[in-house]
């Protein structure tokens, strides 16, 4: 993971403790650690400037940090139109060169795959709710 991502997303107090490079991202929802390295330095969700969606409960999570694509908006689209165009919007922004995932996304990489998966998850949740009615 690029150290620029870690630096950009750490809180001021956490950034003062930064020592070293070669950080990795922890996506485990059951773990508060977001970044860790070989020298055992860690930074938790409380030390990152944005909520880390992989560490949050399904339903309201921000998936695309550049363009505010989140599960709540996806849900409204699916309920009103039968589908969400979140992935299409993100693709358009990527093609236009507007993406800044390397500094905005806590994982430091493109979110498009996550957005696609989130849309599918929201669609499945809405469908399951409709089936219960």
pLDDT at 91 over 90: yes
pLDDT at 20 over 90: no
The percent of residues above 70 in pLDDT, for the chain, comes to 100
Query: Hey, what are 67's tokens?
Result: 């363009």
Contact 113, 105 (CB under 8 A): no
Q: What is the pLDDT of residue 15?
A: 98
Contact 15, 41 (CB under 8 A): no
Q: What is the pLDDT of residue 51?
A: 97
Q: Which residues contact 97 (CB under 8 A, 6 or more apart)?
A: none
Q: What is the pLDDT of residue 124?
A: 96
Give residue for tokens 């689209």: 77
pLDDT at 133 over 90: no
- pLDDT-based confidence at residue 86 (cuts at 50, 70, 90): very high
The percent of residues above 90 in pLDDT, for the chain, comes to 98
Q: What is the pLDDT of residue 97?
A: 97
Q: Which region among 18-22, 70-74, 113-117 has the lowest average model confidence (pLDDT)? A: 18-22
DSSP lists the bridge partners of residue 42 as: 36
Query: Hey, what are 69's tokens?
Result: 């694509």
Q: Which of the 8 DSSP states describes residue 82? A: S
Q: What is the pLDDT of residue 6?
A: 98
In the chain, where the domains are located: 3-132
Contact 43, 31 (CB under 8 A): no
- pLDDT-based confidence at residue 70 (cuts at 50, 70, 90): very high
What's the whole-number average pLDDT of the chain? Answer: 97
Q: Which of the 8 DSSP states describes residue 10? A: B
């Amino acid at each position: 993971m690029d150290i620029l991502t870690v630096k950009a997303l750490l809180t001021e107090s956490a950034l003062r403790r930064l020592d070293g490079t070669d950080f990795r991202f922890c996506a485990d929802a059951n773990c508060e650690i977001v970044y860790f390295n070989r020298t055992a330095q860690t930074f938790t969700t409380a030390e990152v400037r944005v909520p880390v969606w992989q560490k949050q409960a399904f339903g309201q999570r921000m998936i695309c940090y550049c363009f505010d694509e989140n599960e709540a908006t996806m849900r409204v689209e699916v309920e009103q139109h039968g589908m969400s165009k979140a992935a299409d919007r993100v693709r358009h922004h990527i093609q236009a060169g507007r993406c800044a995932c390397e500094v905005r996304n806590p994982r430091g990489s493109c979110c498009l795959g996550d957005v696609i998966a989130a849309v599918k998850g929201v669609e499945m949740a809405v469908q399951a709710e409709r089936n219960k009615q």
